[in-house]
Amino acid sequence: MVRLPRAFFDRPTPDVARDLLGRRLVRVLDGQRLSGLIVEAEAYGGPDDEASHAHRRTPRSAIMYGPPGHAYVYFIYGMYFCLNVVTEADGRPGAVLIRAIVPQEGIEIMRRRRGGVPDRHLADGPGKLCLALGITRAQNGLDLTSSPELFLEEGTPAAAAEIAATPRIGVRGDADALGRPWRFVWRPYILSA
C-alpha cells in the first residue's frame, strides 16, 4: 500500500478529517503489522477553537503548530492515550483525533491486548484503538510520512454519500466549539452517525 504523503496533511483540518475515513492506520509492533480502516475522526483547530488543545499554546499543544504529518499522542483521564494527526501548514495549529478503526491486520494481537472484548469493540474509541495498537506517549512526535512503526496508507477513501458530519463528542468550550460539525463518521461502520 502507498503511504500518505505530507501534502495530504498540509490542508485545512476538517478536510483532512473527512478524507481520513477509509484510510488505513498501521502500527508495526514487535515486528508485527497491526492495521485498521479509519471510520471515525474529529477535527480540532487553533486559538479560535475552544475545544482544541491549541486554544492556548502550551508545551503539550506546541506539536499542533506543525509541521503537518506528525503524531500527537496525549494521555487523558489518567488512563488512556489518544492519537491525533497534525494538520495545516507549519505554524498554523490543527490536528485530527482518530476516534475509531475497523481492524484489518493483526486482529489476534489486538484481541490479546484488549483482553478478549468482542471484536466490534477492539478499536471503537480513541483510547481503545491506542490500547489495541500499543500506541503510547512514546509515539508522540513521530513523522507519519517516514516512521517505520506508525503511519497511514491510502486505503480506500470513503464515498462522500457514506460520510456523516456531526458535532464533536464530549468537548468543552463556547457554543461555536460545541456546535462545529467536525466529527466525521463512515456511516456503514458507525451506528450513531
Instruction: Report the chain (193 residues): mean pLDDT per 10 consecutive residues.
Output: 96 98 98 98 95 90 95 90 97 97 97 93 96 97 98 96 95 93 93 55
In this prediction, residue 27 carries a pLDDT of 98
- Domains, the chain, in order of start with CATH, read 6-186 (3.10.300.10)
pLDDT tens across 124-155, in order?
A: 999 999 999 999 999 999 999 999 999 999 99
Q: How far is CA 37 from CA 30, 80, 103, 158, 189, in A?
A: 21, 21, 7, 10, 10
Strands 95-105 and 32-44: antiparallel
Q: How far is CA 107 from CA 38, 47, 55, 121, 131, in A?
A: 15, 39, 37, 12, 13
**Which pTM value belongs to this model?**
0.96
In this prediction, residue 191 carries a pLDDT of 61
Question: What H or E segment, with its residue span, contains residue 126?
Answer: helix 126-133
